[in-house]
Amino acid sequence: MFEPGQCFSLLKRYEAASRNYISFHTHVLGTVVHENTKCPVVAISIGSGRKKILITTGIHGDEKAPPEALARFIGDPGTPKLLRDFSVTLLPLMNPIGFSKNIRKNGPIDLNRHFGCRKFHRENSVIENYMNGKSFDVMISLHEDVDMKSFYMYETGSFDAGKLRDIIADDVEFINALRKKGVAINHDKTIYGILNRGGIKIVSSSKGRNLEQYLWSREIVKRVVCIETPGLIDFEKRVELHLMALRHFMKSFLY
């Protein structure tokens, strides 16, 4: 069932939160149409601090916890202070049709397999057009693995040994915090063909057609932290884990 009210009520929460910020701008990148309803694809820019960060959610419409967590994070009265030293760009709901239908795809296609693709897909092209020419220190990409009971994450980038050591130490600190909350961590040797070490996968290939690799391979983002919460655990718990991830990684990016 298509319930576009889901998309509009989520975006209204950002409108309500905007009054807590000195600098808060919403850009409508384009609209997508389904059953005669136009749904906007928006970007939001907040602040003008020295650290440039991109946060993305909602490219897969059935991964509900990330858009919910990001809306709560931005609406939290304590967040403006936390964001003081950042310039933040949000893509809070990249697949409004999928989100409103509670499906992964936008209907026919998995949008996160079609960036940099020659075929025209509206959501991909409006996002690509907006992102091209920009640059960010870090991207936080919030996803869920709907079939999993355990947590894992990706790091995308090309890191020298010293940098990689720091990144992994910080990721391990985050994963230990999850463990303390009773979250199971994925210890499979590989996940979707990529080596997994204690819930951390390192990606240094630019071949994928997902947004993370698209932006990294074009040097629009230097590093991507991608969170995959287990979709088979309680919704509120998953929202809490995404909020923890936002707070943890934003803090570690500052140093």
Chain residues in the site for Zn ion (CB under 5 A): 60, 63, 143
Helices (H), 54-207: 65-75, 79-82, 96-101, 122-131, 161-180
Nearer to Zn ion, 60 or 114 (CB): 60
Q: For the CB of residue 143, give the shortest distance to Zn ion in the complex, in Å.
A: 3
Q: Which is nearer to Zn ion, 32 or 65 (CB)?
A: 65
Give the shortest CB-168-to-Zn ion separation in angstroms: 23
Contact 93, 67 (CB under 8 A): yes
| Amino acid at the residue 209 | R
Minimum CB distance to Zn ion, residue 238 (Å): 13
CA distances 111 to 12, 175, 182, 248, 249, Å, are 24, 28, 32, 28, 25
Q: Which of 251, 216, 68, 218 is nearest to 142 (CA)?
A: 68
Q: At closest approach, how far in Å is the CB of 29 from Zn ion?
A: 20
Distances (CA, A) of 179 to 54, 113, 133, 146: 26, 31, 39, 19
Least Å distance between CB 22 and Zn ion? 33
What are 243's two structure tokens?
A: 């909020």
Longest dimension (CA), the chain: 53
Task: Give min distance, CB of 180 to Zn ion, in A.
Answer: 25
Residue 63 or 240 with smaller CB distance to Zn ion: 63
The phi-psi region of residue 157 (left if phi > 0; otherwise alpha if psi is between -120 and 50; otherwise beta) is: left
Nearer to Zn ion, 60 or 238 (CB): 60
Are 28 and 92 within 8 A, CB to CB?
no
Looking at the Cβ atoms of 63 and 123, the one nearer to Zn ion is 63
Closest to Zn ion by CB, 63 or 212: 63
Residue type, 96: P
